[in-house]
Amino acid sequence: MMKRIEARKNLFWWSVGGVLTVAILGTILHFLYDWTEGSAVVKPFSAIDESTFQHMKILYFPMTIFGLVQWFFFRKEYKCYFVIKLIGILVGLTLIPVLFYTYNGAFGKSPDWLNITIFMVADLCAFAVEYILFKKADGDCKPVWNILALVGIIATGVMFVLLTYLPPNLPIFISPV
């Protein structure tokens, strides 16, 4: 019982840490490809252009890395850990294109400060949803759901890497710059 109370008290700070980690790592990944002069090593994980897809990618990888670290501390307390993580990741990934295309559809091209704000709002909302779901988690989860969610998280990462090299000719993959 004491361990459960401690985990739930620390949940808020884990969420704050997650938001800040993703903001910092996402910012680094936004520039890393240019900083390394187009390194093939960082290409699959960093933004290689200004497309919406690339901005989604720089949210996904930091969230996933943070989630793996967090899992070591949460795995015993939250039986549906990967289910909640997948939901949080999908919320963040969905918000980036929804907010970007909604704004651009209504007002035209968005300024850089707004694109940064969209990324930060997606980051914050993803962790807010996770926070709410973790707080409501009752500890009961069928292992198959966690396994399927982990497969979903991994499949999403594989998709990001593959589509970095083989992007379809769709607006979300086209850099406006």
User: 123 vs 31, 83, 114, CA distance in Å?
Assistant: 18, 18, 14
Q: What pLDDT, on a 0 to 100 scale, did the predictor assign at position 109?
A: 81
What is the helix (H) or strand (E) element at residue 141, kind and residue range? none
Per-residue pLDDT for 3 more than 60?
no
As a whole number, mean pLDDT of residues 146-158 equals: 97
- Average pLDDT across the chain, whole number: 92
pLDDT, tens digit, 9 for 90 and up, residues 93-151: 999 999 999 998 888 887 888 889 999 999 999 999 999 999 998 767 888 999 999 99
Q: What pLDDT, on a 0 to 100 scale, did the predictor assign at position 158?
A: 98
In terms of Cα–Cα distance, which of 100, 116, 119, 98 is closest to 108?
100
Lowest mean per-residue pLDDT among 38-42, 107-111, 117-121, 163-167: 107-111
pLDDT band at 1 (very low <50, low <70, confident <90, very high): very low
CB neighbour list of residue 14: distance below 8 Å, 6 or more residues apart: 70, 73, 74
pLDDT, tens digit, 9 for 90 and up, residues 4-20: 556 667 899 999 999 99
Please give the Cα distance from 75 to 70 (Å, whole number): 8
